[in-house]
Structure 1
Amino acid sequence: MRGGSVGRVDLRRTARDLGVLAAAVVIGLFMLQGALEEYPGKSSAEAWRDVAVGAAAMLVLVLFRRRWPVRVCLLLTVAWLFSAVAMGAMAMASFTVAVHRPWRATAAVAALNTGLIALTFALVPLGGARERVQAIVVVTLGYAVLIAAGLLVRSRRQLISSLRERARQAEEGQRLRVEEARLLERERIAREMHDVLAHRISLLAVHAGALEFPPGAPAAQRDAAGVIRRTAYEAMEDLRQVIGVLRDDTRGADPDRPQPTLPEVPALVEQARAAGAHVTLEDGLPDAPEVPDRIGRHAYRIVQEGLTNARKHAPGAPVRVALGFPGRAGLTVEIVNPPPPGPAADALPGAGAGLLGLRERVALVGGTLEHGRTGDGGFRLYAWLPVPADEGPGPGRDL
């Protein structure tokens, strides 16, 4: 791919060089023809010398015009004083200066060459004063057109470069936003797991303490229970030190609040209804086995994110939330809404960070997540979360 890109760049450079050379040759031959018409007594040796100097000027132009545009232009200006053909190379060198150098350098070179053109045509006998003025005007206007074309090419390249840089910055910003969303969701999951682990370990420490201090307990039992209790407390301290940094940047977080699970989904739906949303809950889990808390927490977050997206992007549209347990092997969560009843401009913009976070959650437990537009222009969010047959809620099952 890189070799093909380099090849295309080299092909463009070659095409541009050939175009500049062709324009220089045309201008040079035109000036040579005019010189021969004005000086019919010019010998063939002088004509061939003029062509030779002009050819050397063309070669210098093609080889060095990009590396040293101002120096090449000044050198070809001197060559033009001895060769009419070299004027074509000088003109295209001025065009190159306008393309590759700032306007100050371009203005200086243009002023110098314009003055030399006017002075040369004024000193050389070309008939009457009227013919001289006409020649100076025509050549100066042609030279000005070349300079203006070069400035136009330079401004166009700068515009394209600016647009490419903006596009690159936009892509980089989007990539950073996506990465930040993933990291934030992983931190959120880590905080939730910290709360759950802290609760489980504290229960373990309490029960170990109860086994350590009962009257008449064997010494071996008290020693073992003491080891368990101290290890549990040390584990809680280590966990607090590791996860505590995640809470420093969480404004307004309530570390003691229990994490919501699947039984809190109806309350979440009621909150959405109280806020004015039209939400229908299809609960297909009455006869299903109990869902572990670690799966229920992710299901709750999926429903929460689906309702939030529906409220942002389809305000006023009815939302259907469906929970199921097909095949008794996994929990399904589906949130569907039709297009909003109002104009599309009423919807709030979003960056998709919430869906990225859900993908992280679902991938964490080995599930699948699907989302996209429906046939009628609505939106569907579907997740499948695996539930092991021998797993249920309770101590030790939430790790």
Structure 2
Amino acid sequence: MGLARLAPVPRTPSVGGRTVVQAWLASRGLVALVALVLAVREGRSVTDMVSNWDVQHFTRLAEGGYGAEPDNILMAFFPGLPALLAAGLAVGVPVAVGGVLLSLACSGIAAAALARLGGPWAAVIWLFAPTAVFTTVPYTESLFCAVAFWAWERARADRWGAAALLATAACTVRVSGLFLIGALGVMVLTAAGLSLVDRLRRGAWLLLPAAAILGFAAYLHALTGSWTAWYTAQSTGWVRQLTTPWQSFLNTVPAIVPGAYADHPWWAAVFRGEMVSMAVGLAVTVWCLSRRLWAEAAWVGVQVLAFSLSYWFFSVNRATLLWFPLWIMLARWGTRQPSGPLAAVLHRASVVLGFGLSVVALVWWCWLFFTGHWAS
């Protein structure tokens, strides 16, 4: 097909697969250990600790649908995950249990796709990402990454029927599916060696996931009479009014100052993370552009742009989990072979240090979420 691609680091399949499985077990085990320690220390059940923040909204949706709250902020969430949780409830599986099992399974599926896209070490780094706790609890990150990463892998393999079906599933889970459609469209437009007819045929497959987005909008319109019900819910519940990037940056600056939230001392640290995540997103976009990875650049860049158009930088820390080029970029850096013994030692030390800091950040983020602190 002539597509530019991020070729994986050469590994034998058995070694690479075993490495990813071991990383999945170790990372999920680490999160579980933190949860168990906190459960003993605080006298709370594990199911209670994994049910914080948005999990409560997903639970209401699974139990009562989009009419479960009078202010309609539940319409800010797409129906894919709540539908699966509702299916679990129908057979007697509680949301906390079903959601955790689903996220654990999907995190493995997503890691397998990432290993196909960028090699086993990209998957390993993703599994130990600072915000990887969200891939173990009833949130949308694992489910979305599982279908979106495989949609990308299938598109790269020129299997557009499968890619479209997977992208359609992604579009039922998060609004990020809209960005996935756009990035896959860029892949079609920038592919080398395709005739106009070939591009149209591949692009036509993207009408399927687009229909899923439109279908959800039509459903909310039928409930509310508004085509902007999703945006209204986002604005009402999470202060996501349309803002210029510069003003969004200025609105975030006061939130990163130590002591900005006297009653919530960790909020400023999380907002600092949002700033760092935005900078990382820009760096990854530039990295992709420098390598003529136009579709990957579009996938990350449009998300960074979308976050910069909100009132302030918000939920970017979690969104980094969706940026598979980031983890591939880090894997490329971590596995490169510097020339000279001193450079090799320094590089190896920096890799170990960086991975260690990521693990520490993961433990901290687990503590934030499991103890009920805001964790982005």
Give the TM-score range, shorter chain. Answer: under 0.3
More strand by share: 1
TM-score between both structures, scaled by the size of structure 2:
0.26
Greater RCO structure (CA 8 Å; 6+ sep) = 2
Structure whose CA Rg is larger: 1
More helix by share: 2
